[in-house]
Amino acid sequence: MSYITLPELDETGYVVLDGYDQVLDPQEWQDIEFVDWKSSGETRFAPLASAYGDLECNGFWHHDPPKTDKDGVWVDANIAKAPRLKARAEEPGANIGRCRVIELQPNEYVDCIWNLHQDDNNRLNPEGTGWIVRGFFNLTDNPDSYMILREDKDDPSTETRIALPAGTQVIIDTQRLWHAVWHRGGEPRYCLITSWESGPELKTYIRDRHPRSRVDNAPLDPEVIAAAQETVARRRSERESASGVVMDVLSEA
């Protein structure tokens, strides 16, 4: 027994879809309520759907009773102010788990590499059902910022850098790929993140939007990459010798 997965994500673990024209949409992320939730840098999150409809961002498996990352319950106060974002999350018609807007403060490439992590999307997910993947809809216009993906967190040759202009839509198997965002600029970045169950609904949604499972890597000086590798390795060994614990996954969004 295994999970239902999407062949579109087999090759690289991600697909970039057609950009979404959000010029006429209200900037609803400015009106909703954020809570402090540290993940992959200086972040806050505004939950639109949580485990049981409360204004909180914990993984569904941490609740009582625990549940897998499906059947999220809408957070009334936030969806009242963000009907368009809710509609975008619902458009695929797939089961929705966690659905939230992330606010990320600017950072450096080396911070992003330090923050690379895998998500725990499929804990408690019964085999034979759909594998949970996540959609990232960039809300602010951040053409000089990048979603950084790596198949192997310590191997830069496996890195993909996806630029994040407004309306960028990427669906990622974030339990497979190490990921974090390198956000350059002076203002916070906002992005709608939705957990969806793989299945025929999501497949149709993806196929209708010209999915690309490989994109040109945004250029980056190899010396910057090498310096970041070195710094991260040093920080990791410093932390391990200070704590006596081997570091594993850093964070979970």
List of residues contacting Fe ion (CB under 5 A): 119, 253
Alpha-carbon distance of 208 to 196, in angstroms, equals 17
Instruction: List 179's β-bridge partners, or say none.
Output: 117, 149
Q: How far is the CB of 174 from Fe ion (least distance, A)?
A: 5
Q: How far is the CB of 1 from Fe ion (least distance, A)?
A: 26
Q: Which residue is nearest to Fe ion (CB)?
A: 253
Q: How far is the CB of 58 from Fe ion (least distance, A)?
A: 14
Nearer to Fe ion, 154 or 208 (CB): 154
Nearer to Fe ion, 103 or 119 (CB): 119
Q: Tokens 């390795």: give the residue.
A: 233
Nearer to Fe ion, 49 or 253 (CB): 253
Q: How far is the CB of 251 from Fe ion (least distance, A)?
A: 7
Nearer to Fe ion, 178 or 204 (CB): 178
Nearer to Fe ion, 109 or 136 (CB): 136
Q: How far is the CB of 14 from Fe ion (least distance, A)?
A: 13
